[in-house]
């Protein structure tokens, strides 16, 4: 760990997401706040804070840290990047042939208006843009964030300009890189009662200068966002949506939103595959199991907690062995491959709920390999200071189409679930299997099968809205309470 230390004002701090707790001599010690300047992350490399920029920002009086002590950046929304468009598993996606000239050229002189739902509101935010799986530099300008109105509109008077690297209106990201914006003041969030903002969304608009080439994206947003036509130019400053004729149910180039919150804010990251990503939940309904968990936690603990979703449709724990944008896999890099970027580098994460393994089983992986992958992932989370890790049992897919529906896969699934329940590897267990399985048939309960996104009978693999409610309600939220202690063995 010595190589991960850097010195500032005669004290040691750690690069990466702020506020993650570390274990030392059996007691929890809060990790010092990281410099909150915009930072650039290279694929496969450790995040490095640009110290000289931080010094300049603070000297100018516009640094990312709030005045006074006791606050930090915490993740309020996330969308794990999993590959270049169109590789992935989108749900209810409109035909995008008219929105993009080609996958190779990507966006060409056009504006995105992405609709995202903060789990925790604050008056100061920052946005992380990503070119993780691009093959050339991308250039964005005229970025804005405001309160989402209806359709593709922004509530009048709330659109705020987003800048980068101490006031620049243009951001250039090399292939494989990502960067946070400067802090943005959302004064309207301070004027509105917190109850009035609950469930509301932000509209994040930005213009792609020239051609982006292959676009880094999160396919399964299950949220409608808006696009201008190619070569339409910059329209992010506009509150209306006349310039945004096209829709998408995916997010492009944006992978995190942070807010300033008190130090003791708990950030719960939900890590997994399509069942965490929300396949078969309601389009624009925000009723995935992490959403259900979020509502329960906020009802119990108010604004002291934030829940973010780090699921990717089709994701596996241990495969593919390697991942390349030139030869992408629809489920993205393996969980072990993406763990640093998509989980450990989220700001302020203090707890993880991990549900994964069915895609490994359907691809032919054996129980031993999956268990080894779970052990590896948990060990790496422990080493990076995750305070509480909840293991979730794999839900039944018995009788579904394809390899995941076979009796052999179901027997292996049950073996992995026994390990999750009894091994002591985790600080707690979310028994999603017990919450959703029909005890008579061993399959997903009939009431949880019909597809809530597009209708129809469902695939017997992905739970619907009712199934996700059962899952979200099966978690003991006391294990995720702000300031709670770990039961590490």
Per-residue pLDDT of the chain in tens (489 residues, 90 and over written 9) = 333 333 333 232 323 333 333 222 233 333 333 333 333 444 343 333 332 223 222 222 223 344 346 999 999 999 999 999 999 999 999 999 999 999 999 999 999 999 999 999 999 999 999 999 999 999 999 999 999 999 999 999 999 999 999 999 999 999 999 999 999 999 999 887 778 899 999 999 999 999 999 999 999 999 999 999 999 999 999 999 999 999 999 999 999 999 999 999 999 999 999 999 999 999 999 999 999 999 999 999 999 999 999 999 999 999 999 999 999 999 999 999 999 999 999 999 999 999 999 999 999 999 999 999 999 999 999 998 877 999 999 999 999 998 999 999 999 999 999 999 999 999 999 999 999 999 999 999 999 999 999 999 999 999 999 999 999 999 999 999 998 644 333
State the Cα–Cα distance between residues 37 and 54, nearest whole angstrom: 5
CA-to-CA dists, residue 15 to 1, 2, 3, angstroms? 11, 12, 11
Both structure tokens of 279? 């396949």
The β-bridge relationship of strands 216-218 and 251-252 is: antiparallel
State the Cα–Cα distance between residues 290 and 270, nearest whole angstrom: 7
Nearest to 350 by CA among 474, 424, 473, 262: 262
User: Which residues are CB-contacts of 220 (< 8 A; sequence separation ≥ 6)?
Assistant: 88, 89, 90, 91, 249, 250, 274, 277, 278, 279, 312, 313
Both structure tokens of 261? 């919150």
Q: Region of 117 please: left (phi>0), alpha (psi -120 to 50) or beta.
A: beta
Place of tokens 């396919």: 219
3-class secondary-structure state, position 369: helix
pLDDT at 119: 98
State the Cα–Cα distance between residues 112 and 294, nearest whole angstrom: 27
Place of tokens 């829940």: 307
Q: Where are the beta strands (DSSP E) in 40-98?
A: 40-42, 71-78, 83-84
Burial of 442 (0-12, 13-18, 19+ CB in 10 A): middle
This prediction has a pTM of 0.86
Both structure tokens of 89? 């598993």
Q: Are 260 and 130 in contact (CB under 8 A)?
A: no
């Amino acid at each position: 760990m010595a190589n991960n230390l850097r010195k500032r004002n005669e004290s040691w701090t750690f690069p990466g997401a702020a506020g993650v707790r570390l274990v030392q001599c059996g007691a929890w010690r809060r990790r010092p706040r990281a410099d909150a300047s915009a930072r650039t992350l290279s694929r496969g490399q450790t995040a490095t804070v640009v110290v000289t920029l931080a010094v300049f920002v603070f000297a100018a009086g516009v640094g990312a840290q709030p005045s006074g002590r006791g606050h930090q950046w915490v993740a309020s929304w996330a969308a794990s990047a999993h590959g270049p468009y169109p590789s992935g598993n989108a749900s209810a996606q409109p035909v995008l042939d008219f929105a993009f000239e080609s996958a190779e050229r990507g966006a060409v002189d056009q504006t995105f208006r992405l609709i995202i739902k903060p789990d925790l509101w604050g008056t100061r935010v920052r946005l992380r843009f990503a070119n993780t799986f691009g093959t050339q530099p991308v250039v964005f300008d005229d970025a804005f964030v405001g309160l989402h109105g209806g359709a593709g509109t922004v509530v009048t008077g709330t659109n705020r300009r987003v800048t980068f690297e101490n006031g620049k209106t243009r951001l250039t990201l090399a292939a494989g890189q990502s960067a946070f914006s400067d802090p943005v003041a959302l004064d309207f969030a301070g004027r509105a009662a917190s109850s009035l903002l609950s469930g509301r969304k932000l509209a994040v608009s930005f213009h792609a200068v020239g051609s982006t080439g292959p676009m880094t994206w999160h396919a399964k947003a299950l949220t409608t966002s808006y696009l201008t036509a190619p070569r339409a130019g910059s329209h992010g400053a506009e509150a209306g949506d006349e310039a945004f004729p096209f829709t998408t149910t995916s997010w492009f180039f944006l992978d995190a939103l942070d807010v300033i919150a008190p130090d003791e804010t708990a950030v719960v990251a939900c890590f997994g595959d399509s069942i965490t990503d929300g396949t078969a939940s309601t389009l624009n309904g925000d009723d995935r199991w992490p959403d259900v968990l979020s509502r329960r936690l906020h009802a119990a603990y108010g604004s002291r907690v934030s829940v973010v979703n780090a699921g990717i449709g089709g994701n596996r724990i241990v495969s593919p062995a390697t991942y390349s944008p030139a030869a992408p896999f629809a489920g993205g890099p393996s969980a072990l491959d993406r763990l640093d970027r998509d989980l450990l580098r989220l700001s302020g994460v203090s707890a993880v709920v991990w549900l994964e393994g069915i895609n490994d089983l359907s691809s032919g992986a054996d129980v031993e390999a999956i268990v080894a992958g779970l052990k590896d992932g948990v060990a790496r989370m422990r080493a990076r200071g995750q305070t509480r890790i909840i293991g979730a049992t794999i839900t039944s897919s018995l009788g579904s189409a394809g390899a995941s529906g076979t009796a052999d896969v179901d027997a292996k699934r049950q073996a992995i679930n026994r390990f999750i329940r009894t091994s002591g590897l985790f600080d707690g267990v979310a028994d999603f299997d017990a919450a959703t399985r029909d005890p008579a048939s061993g399959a997903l309960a009939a009431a949880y099968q019909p597809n809530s996104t597009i209708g129809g009978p469902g695939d017997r693999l992905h739970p619907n809205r009712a199934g996700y409610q059962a899952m979200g309600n099966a978690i003991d939220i006391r294990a995720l309470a702000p300031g709670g202690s770990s039961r590490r063995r």
